[in-house]
Amino acid sequence: MLEVTGLQAWYGQAQALHGVGVRVGEGEVVSLAGRNGAGKTTLVRCLIGLHRQLSGAVTFLGRDVTRMAAHQRARAGMGWVQDDRGIYASLTVEENLVLPPKVADRAWPLERVYEAFPVLAERRKASGTTLSGGEQQMLAIARVLRTGARLLLMDEPSEGLAPVVVARIGAIIREIKADGVGVLLIEQNVKFAATVADRHYLLSQGRIVETLDNSEFQRREGELLKHLGI
């Protein structure tokens, strides 16, 4: 579904990514772990088309999208759940949900969204400014699912949230995985990543230093926590 090869990125003369390679298959959840400043956010911005000073190749659904604009990637089925959630504060929950265009028949109808996120159904008429952090995160995820995206790029979805909300997000990730949606999960919460991901990439100083299956990732949890500085 997604294949990244030899990706290099710069900010002016400073190189942020060094030959990064990442792969996500259909119905596969892959996590990307690394310390702050390791290059995770730069990689995501390269994938969604917001960072243009780069070389290498990004292939999505068999199509080279390396030089494609961000809105074209979104229409092709690439969805981004950003770390700041990007909720439109002046709009209601339901207005946020119906705003983005559908890009595929797999788009979730409102009924399925409200079944998966009952709190959003309860607060459908509430404005974005009144939502808690957990409610905003659920809305950000639901809004992307409403588009019918084939691949979700999720940037720190569990950060700062109560365990019950994190567990609900994990359940949704497993549900969309079963639907064949691919997920690239940028996540420092090792315990959470281990509950949802099939494989894990470790990023350090702009380089992929290890690729682990989930059993190995779980076995080395203590070591990884030290690596991530948590």
pLDDT for the residue 36: 86
pTM of the model: 0.91
The pLDDT score that the predictor gives to residue 84 is 82
59 DSSP β-pair partners: 3, 64
Q: What would the two tokens of residue 176 be?
A: 């969309």
From the first residue on, what is the mean pLDDT of each consecutive set of 10 residues in the chain (230 residues)?
Answer: 97 96 97 90 94 95 95 94 86 93 89 94 92 92 94 91 91 94 92 94 94 92 74
* CB of 32 closer than 8 Å to CB of 43: yes
Domain membership of residue 38 as a residue range: 2-228
Q: What is the pLDDT of residue 14?
A: 95
According to DSSP, residue 65 is labeled: -
Q: Are strands 182-186 and 199-204 parallel, antiparallel or unpaired?
A: unpaired
CATH of the domain at 166: 3.40.50.300
Greatest CA separation found in the chain?
50
pLDDT at 125: 96
In whole angstroms, give the CA distance from residue 121 to residue 183: 25
Q: Hunting for tokens 């090869």 — which residue is that?
A: 5
Say if CB 62 and CB 13 are below 8 A apart: no
Per the listing, tokens 């659920």 go with 138
Number of domains into which the chain is organized: 1
